[in-house]
């Protein structure tokens, strides 16, 4: 979460809403913000930290561990029409990559704006694909991994 907070200005430039959520109470979030997050990121986490007491939202998103009573760490890219376009769920031992999250947001925004598709590892300015029947069997002529 602190890594995403450190890149928050870039998310704002992308007109992206960032939210954090856990089963912790708002009181625990406040203490965590004051005692730890504010020491990792100047000013602490600049986006809302929401409480999912009882795991109802985590259950809806498939990340609530009922036995442990916690939401499993994950991230979701939800488009302006409230469609989940991407999700990543990892166990706590491996951290997520906020740079990859930014890349994916840019890719989804490009796809939405142009109708083109972005190949693996695409970065803004790189080759995109036009998904037409003419491309079938010929992707190799325009894109190489």
In this prediction, what percent of the chain has a pLDDT beyond 90?
83
The per-residue pLDDT for range 98-135, each reduced to its tens digit, is 999 999 999 999 999 999 999 999 999 999 999 888 88
Q: How many Cα atoms sit within 13 Å of 46 on the Cβ side?
A: 14
Q: Give the DSSP H or E segment for 20.
A: strand 20-22
Q: How far apart are CA 75 and CA 31, in angstroms?
A: 23
The per-residue pLDDT for range 16-44, each reduced to its tens digit, is 999 999 999 999 999 999 999 999 999 99
Query: 2-94 belongs to which CATH class?
Result: alpha beta
Q: How far apart are CA 135 and CA 145, in angstroms?
A: 16
């Amino acid at each position: 979460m602190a890594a995403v907070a450190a890149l928050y200005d870039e998310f704002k430039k992308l007109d992206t809403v960032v939210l954090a959520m856990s089963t912790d109470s708002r009181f625990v979030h406040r203490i965590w913000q004051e005692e730890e997050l504010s020491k990792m990121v100047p000013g602490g986490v600049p986006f809302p930290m929401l409480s999912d007491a009882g795991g109802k939202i985590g259950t809806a998103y498939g990340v609530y561990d009922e036995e442990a009573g916690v939401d499993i760490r994950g991230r979701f890219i939800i488009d302006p029409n409230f469609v989940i376009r991407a999700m990543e769920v990892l166990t706590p031992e491996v951290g997520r990559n906020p740079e990859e999250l930014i890349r994916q947001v840019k890719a989804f925004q490009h796809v939405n704006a142009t109708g083109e598709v972005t190949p693996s590892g695409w970065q803004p300015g790189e080759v995109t694909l036009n998904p037409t029947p003419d491309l079938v069997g010929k992707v190799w002529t325009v894109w190489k991994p």
